[in-house]
Structure 1
Amino acid sequence: MQSGMRRYYLAVGFQRGLALRFVIVYLAGGLMAAGLVCSGFALGKFLVRVVADGVDPLYWGPFSLPLVTAMILGVLMCFWMRVVLKSVFPGAWIEGTRLTVQDGRRSVIDLAAARSMSLHSTIERLAVPAPVCGAGPPPMVPLLLVYSEDREVRLRLASRERVMLPPAQLFLLANALSAARCPGAAETVAWLRATAASMQAYSGNPYPPSPR
């Protein structure tokens, strides 16, 4: 982290009802975890009764089968919660020349030390209202790839609701990327600035052409 640098967040996560979504996910996850652990314990006791008639239902051999099944279901629940959190609570921010993307795990890259960068189109289409896109298909969600010596950072330039980043944030990202002196940097910065200017010029149309 660069001391004294202000942190600017990018609108790459869900933009509506985040607080409510947070409560629902953790409340539902906690209830489901408790339910699965209890179900696993009950399943283990049932298996002991079926397989080993007359044996203490809490034990079978050198281990407790009910506890084992409860632990297995609890671990599966933890993996499921990680997938849910990855899709519900992504984030990205700029701090000086550092870009941080959090999408299940946190990736940090110093843009000034980037080795290469490029823009691509994903398979997702931007959520364009009918009055804006007319009869044609909406453009694709753009993806920024930045490489350093030891890592790759991928940043979707849209929210999870497939809404393009606002012009102010595109300009901010372009200014941060301008510190890079690597292949693809100049083209990426030019596209971001042109896109942001186009969005401002067309009275709130948040759907520029795809980079490729």
Structure 2
Amino acid sequence: MNPGHPRIVLSVGYPRGRTGRLVTVSILGAVVVGLCCCLGGILGLLAGGGDNSALPPIFALGLATVAAVGLGLMIASIARVGAWLDGTRLTVRGLTSRTVDLQTARSVTLAATADSNTGIASDGGVVVTGGVTRTPVLTVVGPEATVRLRLRSREGVLIPASEMAALAGALSVAQCPGAREAASWLQAMASDPRTMLM
């Protein structure tokens, strides 16, 4: 952590529904693992389990293991997803974490990508155009890593204006191509989210 710079946690994960989503995925995942176990047993019988009694348990265990690994990865991605700004250091975390220092960045781009089907119309700064929601994505290439930050939570809401302003402030120290334009766009979106449509 940088002394004198408080860590700013960015609202890019599941700020409202993380617990409910984890509970739902865990319950549905347990059901899917059980069904995969049963399906594996049936496939083992069909594959010659009458002649070899070891096949049904092997197939059952194999399919259940694949389903459990998939469930574990899904739970980990929901629980871990997040991002924060620590002075000029931007960290984005999914299954792995990547950190880049904006001060030493080599390039910065900010572009809006079209997400179909998010379409949450709320007071959270979501702008919907013809059923397609545009999500600004900040990409920073540095000597340590390349960080890609979606400026919308996984629930479809733009990050708050204060967080956009903090990102713009941190980018103001970068001397690389695209940093000044990205900082200006972030400041404009902090004032009016409709700026991303221009």
User: Normalized against structure 1, the TM-score is what?
Assistant: 0.74
C-alpha RMSD over aligned residues: 3.2
Deviation at 1:140, TM superposition (A): 1.6
1:57 to 46, 53, 56: 53
Superposed CA offset, 1:73-110 (max 9, x none): 13431235525654676311112222111234322212
Cα distance change on mapping 1:75 and 1:177 into 2, 3 Å: farther
Amino acid at match of 1:23: V
Unaligned runs of 5+ in 2: none
Q: Which residue of 2 aligns with 1:160?
A: 154
Q: Choose 1 or 2 for highest CA Rg.
A: 1
Matches within 5 A, 1:192-207: 192-196=186-190, 198-199=191-192, 207=193
Q: Which residue of 2 aligns with 1:182?
A: 176
Q: Distance in 2 between matches of 1:211 and 1:75?
A: 45
Q: Distance in 2 between matches of 1:174 and 1:96?
A: 12
- SS of the residue corresponding to residue 210 of structure 1 reads helix
Aligned residues: 192
1:140 to 130, 134, 137: 134
Q: How much identity, in percent, do the aligned residues show?
A: 33
Contact 1:46/1:57, CA 8 A, preserved across alignment: no
Unaligned runs of 5+ in 1: 59-64, 200-206
Cα distance change on mapping 1:135 and 1:67 into 2, 3 Å: closer
- SS of the residue corresponding to residue 208 of structure 1 reads helix
Matches within 5 A, 1:10-29: 10-29=10-29
Q: Which residue of 2 aligns with 1:93?
A: 84
Contact 1:83/1:104, CA 8 A, preserved across alignment: no
Contact 1:119/1:211, CA 8 A, preserved across alignment: no
Cα distance change on mapping 1:6 and 1:28 into 2, 3 Å: farther
